[in-house]
Amino acid sequence: MFRDFHQNNWSPEVEKELQQLMKIAVAEDTGITGDLTSLALVSEQLCGSAFIRSRESGVMAGIQAVATILHVINPTLLWQPFISDGSSIVPGDKIGQISGQLQSMLIAERLVLNLIGKLSGIATLTEKYVDAAAGTPAKIYDTRKTTLGWRRLEKYAVRCGGGRNHRTGLFDAVLIKDNHLAIGRDGGGQFTPAEAVVQTREFFRLHADSFHFERLPEYEYSNENENSYQKTQKIPLVPIIEIEVDTLEQLQEVLTVRPDIVLLDNMTLPQLIQAVEIRNRLAPEVELEASGGINLKTVSAVATTGVERISVGALTHSATALDFGLDWE
């Protein structure tokens, strides 16, 4: 059965993260004195409106966030969006309109433009990777290489660009990496990849009541027909188990215990092709993820090898912000 990580669409969790960030951002910008320039030059009673316009082509992300930013600064500010997240934009497009007290709008200006610029840059870069992999089985995934405190927002932007989210954090999936194998359970010796997967499953079996994962039915052989299954009871489902391997030998060994996903770290194109052939022969239900040094020049070739997933840290750590401006009516 295909299993995937939690996908960060706009949600109360994303909204909460944004509110926390904006409280920090407003304090960072206004300190204890406020906006000195606007206080000196703009009357507190003045009200008006302005348009946000795009100055570059790309994919929009952050429309959902603008109202929250404005509310943190001044709850009386109004936001009227003209497009939705995920929309294509070109220079000059009107993104939306802000109305209200001008002093508050001037405080909001840079915060809004910074946020939508950053998120739209991620969405735009993601779409380029998704387009490069089009026509293949491969889907483009992000990583945890995100800006501290911005993770859900940046992963939301990846979704706006057509990409998929890898695990949100350490809390929602298992990813066994080389350091886990090297340390071992008690620090006294290395795990093989297969041993680590078996140990992980056993841990969650023994500690099922301590976690709150989604629940699915457990199946067992029926007495009448050993080839048929019947539902018996509800049990906590083990989280997604993914394991990183560096060699084809490790892959072959770990496929015997059927993890959900095997991450193929920094493998060459010929190695990826061989990995897919080995997986198809030994455990076709296990998904393969290619990762490590993949860029826009190489992603298309990686996608044609037959892997189901390609994870790219550059989506979030190397995206260039899109340029937006605030134009007064």
The token pair at 281 is 């022969």
The one catalytic residue among 13, 23, 172, 177 = 177
Query: Is 110 a residue of the active site?
Result: yes
Q: What are phi and psi of 183, to 5 degrees?
A: -75, -45
The active-site residue out of 244, 260, 287, 289 is 244
d(CA 144, CA 165): 9
> Do 251 and 279 form a contact (C-beta atoms < 8 A)?
yes
* 131 is an active site residue: no
**Catalytic one of 4, 178, 246, 265:** 265
Is 177 a catalytic site residue?
Answer: yes
What is the C-alpha separation between 306 and 320, in angstroms, rounded? Answer: 30
Is 205 annotated as catalytic?
Answer: no
Given 3, 145, 201, 258, the catalytic residue: 145
Catalytic residue among 23, 110, 185, 281: 110
* Residues annotated as part of the active site: 110, 145, 177, 244, 265
